[in-house]
Each structure stands twice: as C-alpha cells, then as structure tokens.
Structure 1
C-alpha cells in the first residue's frame, strides 16, 4: 500500500507499507539512490509492518532540495509520524545505516531497535575509502576497463545506468551472479541524484570530524544489530569503533555475502533480523540484565 507522506516543507516523499505488526522502517543507501528493499520487505513482512521510502530528491520522491543530514532526519521523522507510529524499528543500509544511527541518536525515544547493515562506521578519518577503491577495481576484473572509460566522461542517461550496473556488480561476493543482481537493482532505472550525493556525503565527512560520535553512541540506550557481509569491498574493520562504542549491540558477519547480504544470504539474513526483532520486542535481555555484546559470527 502506498503512503502519502509530506515533509515539513511540503516535499512529497514516496513510501510504501507491507505486512502487519510493529513498524519497521527501511532506509536505503546512496545518498542519491532510491529504495531497493523489495526483497527485504518480502522477507520480513510476516514479522513486521515494513515501511519503505525514497529519500528526498530520490526515485519516486519529489526532487526538492536542500539536501542535508538534518533534512534527511526530519524527513525520516515525517515518515514515522505519517505512518501513525510513536516508535519504530529502523533498518538502514550503507549511507542509510548512518542515517538510521543519526536518527536514533537524536530521537532515541522514537526508536525501538536499530539494524545497521553494511555501514561504514564513525571514524572521522574515513580511512576505509582507499581500501574500497582498491577492492572495487579488483572485484570488477574484466569489467574494469569499461567502468573506467565511463567514469572519465560525461555520460548519457543510458551510459549512466550502465556505469552504475558495473559499479554495483562489485558489491556482490559471487561474480557469477553479480551483473544479474546489479541489473535488478537498476530496474526500473530512476536516475542517481548526484547533487544529493555530493551534498550529503560532504556533510557526513564534516560532521564525523566535528561531533564526538563515540560519546553519543555510548549513550544510545536501544538494542542494535550490526550485520556485515564478510566479502563487502568496504573493509569491515571500519565499523569496529562503532561496535565497541554501543552499549547494547550484537554483530553478525555473513560469509559469502558482499554489500547487500540479504541478496546472497537471503534466508540467514531474514532469520537473523526476525529473531533480533522478536527477542527485543519483549525486552527479555534488559529485564534479565544481560549484556548484548557478541563477536562476529556466521549462523551457518
């Protein structure tokens, strides 16, 4: 069911609700992309009411700036409010994981659980990026030449889609299915909002330098699940400082998965997230006074 969501400044945001139960809102990555969580919604709609949305200026939402972290947080709150819930669980992926974390830090009373999928951590120096660039080129293999040629010039809309498919193919561990998975992400092609991408990415880099995220994360009094794909080309050690800072956290690393672990480890991802939501819904561990810190593990 499509939802009619209006941001505080009147910007129209596309949103969709599937399933029944407590509300879980999904925050896609980018910045500047659109919702690609149809598979996650299918996995979890028997566990929760799943709300997907396209962020401001992205996909089916209105192209209406300005683009900023604060505006994204306010837009996410509009999705929550106009989904008629006081508290929601949040699942964010990549940039969306940072958005979900920032929202939870700013509004902990409005978040019941946080699921941080394939994020890139809170280190101000952002030291992971050179490793990502190297790993991207290695993973592209014989697709590297075409990707570099497209990267070096102004692209037509068709070439922009081709470039994105090539780049996204590196986000999957199994090369035999990588192009197929990337093509699916790019269908329908809704166009990357590069203005949004540049503005928000620049602000994230600056705020990580200016704000002590470690202290803010230490005070986050909600259960958090970190999910990584072991073969993500973004090094997973970038998330270690976030994991160490959070007081109520579980981390699961899935072998044989890249940046989108629900694609390559579908059943395990669904089981892990569903169990996390069910366990914490009853607040069992808090009532028992148990600590929720576990090392990286694979459920296989």
Structure 2
C-alpha cells in the first residue's frame, strides 16, 4: 500500500503544527479526509485510481499518522487545519472526498466554507442525526461480525494494551468492516500497513464533542454532493437518510461492500466517484 508516485509536503497550520500531506496527479484538486478520528490516511490506492483525472491531495489530520502529534483537538480546529491544507497548495476551491469520520469533517468544512468547495463526496458517513439513533445497532452488528474473534477483541478492549496489542485490537475491529468474511482479516491487515499508533486522545476529544443540529445548514448547502454507501456496512445506512433528504443537490450510490467500498468494489467505486468528479453538471436528487 505504499505510494511512491506522490510528492510529500509539510503543511503548517496557523498555530504552527506540522501536517503531513501528499499530492499527485493532474487536473482539478480533490482533497481527501481520512477516517478515525485518531487514525491516518489509508487511501493511497484511491488516490492512484483518481490521479489520472484529478490532482489528489491526501493528508494526516492533526496528531495523527505522519503529522505532528500535538493538539488541541476539536472539530473546529480540524476544519481550520483542512483549510490550511487547501491554502498551502494555493487552491481557491477544491472538491472534498471524506470517508467515515472524514465524511463528517468534509461536510462540516463545506458548511463552514461553501465558497471554497466545488463538490463533496461523502463516503460511509453516519449522517446528521444524533449518534443514539444508530450506534446501538452498530455495536450489535460489530460484535456479530467479529464472530470467533469477538472473545479476543473484548479481552483486548477491557485491558491496558501494549503497542503491539493496540495494533491487534484495531485489526480485529477493522475486520468487521468488510462484507467478505473470508478476506476480512487480510483487508484489515492491509489497513494497518504501514502502522502508525492510534491517537486515542484525539479520538476521545473529537468523538466526545456534541454535534450541532446541521439540518438547516444542509438544506441551503449549494455544493453538489455524492453519497456513497456500502450496502453491507455495519453502521446502519438509514443513519444517512436524513442527510440525503436535506441536501438540495445530492445523488446516492449504493455498492455491494462494507465500510470501505473502494476495497471490495473498486470498479464500482471508481466509476461512481470518478464520474461524479468529472461531471460538470449538478447531480439529480436520488
């Protein structure tokens, strides 16, 4: 999964924190927002697929992966960091592709700076309703998907882990995110290569923030948006329904995959996202 074609950059935020970023390709700029919070960019393969038609920028969020491990951690701060990445490359407007927590980040950025966003690709996010509407079902689905690995995962979750055990814990949990159970551990191991320690402080800080009511802002968002769902995602896709209803310029694609649809349906993902980014017309509702 190592990417040798991209050019790495050091981005400085307004408060002096160094962020890792990588740029590749040619065309209109697309900035990726990885999941987590507290993880790092794992979408080098997606960038390689899209770089023939777009300039793709990947970056590790504050305190995560290859970026400087320094707070403070908040959604507002992370939105500002994303704007620092955009400004570093001299782009007036960018498309955003966010995955999971990164989909929420991309949406929050678009709501804060709609004049700086050309298009939004919202992949495997969890919508704009309160977490209580979906998190219970997700927790049950997670434990069911773990199958025979559930006992070990629960034991690791309940103890103070070593660095090696942190990686094992994450790989087991990530394996539940794949529809193909025979290859689930293989896919999860690939996510952990290369491995950068999870920033659990960042995860707790951002995960603990109470989300504002965004429906009204979404109803007036003048940014064409593509929602991409994996039909076998253990996070209920119904959680995104209210977001899809609120956005005025939205299309939605459902792919036969889990939480990382580009891994399990790369052709379908490439077709949907590449076509959306290349289309200069606004998508229809659906």
Q: TM-score range by the shorter chain?
A: over 0.9
- Of the three residues 44, 50, 53, the one matched with 1:47 is 53
In structure 1, C-alpha distance between the alignment counterparts of 2:235 and 2:145, rounded to whole Å: 12
Residues 37 and 125 (structure 1), Cα distance of their counterparts in 2 relative to 1, 3 Å cut:
closer
Counterpart secondary structure, 1:172:
coil
Q: Aligned runs of 1:88-237 on 2, under 5 Å?
A: 88-203=94-209, 206-207=210-211, 211-237=212-238
Give the structure 2 partner of residue 263 of structure 1: 263
Give the structure 2 partner of residue 298 of structure 1: none
Q: How many aligned positions are there?
A: 280
Query: For the Cα contact (< 8 Å) 2:11–2:85, is it kept in 1?
Result: yes
Residues 174 and 89 (structure 1), Cα distance of their counterparts in 2 relative to 1, 3 Å cut:
same
Give the structure 2 partner of residue 63 of structure 1: 69
In structure 2, C-alpha distance between the alignment counterparts of 1:34 and 1:147, rounded to whole Å: 22
Counterpart secondary structure, 1:56:
coil
Give the structure 2 partner of residue 252 of structure 1: 253
In structure 2, C-alpha distance between the alignment counterparts of 1:189 and 1:25, rounded to whole Å: 22
Give the structure 2 partner of residue 238 of structure 1: 239
In structure 2, C-alpha distance between the alignment counterparts of 1:237 and 1:50, rounded to whole Å: 30
Give the structure 2 partner of residue 288 of structure 1: none
Deviation readout 1:19-72 (Å, 9 max, x if unpaired): 110100000000000000111111111121000000000000001111000100
Deviation readout 1:112-157 (Å, 9 max, x if unpaired): 0000000001002531101011000111111111111111101100
* Structure 1 unaligned residues grouped into runs of 5+: 286-290, 295-300
Residues 125 and 15 (structure 1), Cα distance of their counterparts in 2 relative to 1, 3 Å cut:
closer
* Structure 2 unaligned residues grouped into runs of 5+: 1-6
Query: For the Cα contact (< 8 Å) 2:128–2:213, is it kept in 1?
Result: no
Tell me the TM-score normalized by structure 2.
0.96
Ranges of 4+ aligned residues in structure 1 off by more than 2 Å: none
In structure 1, C-alpha distance between the alignment counterparts of 2:168 and 2:131, rounded to whole Å: 31
Kindly indicate whether residue 74 of structure 2 is the aligned counterpart of residue 82 of structure 1.
no
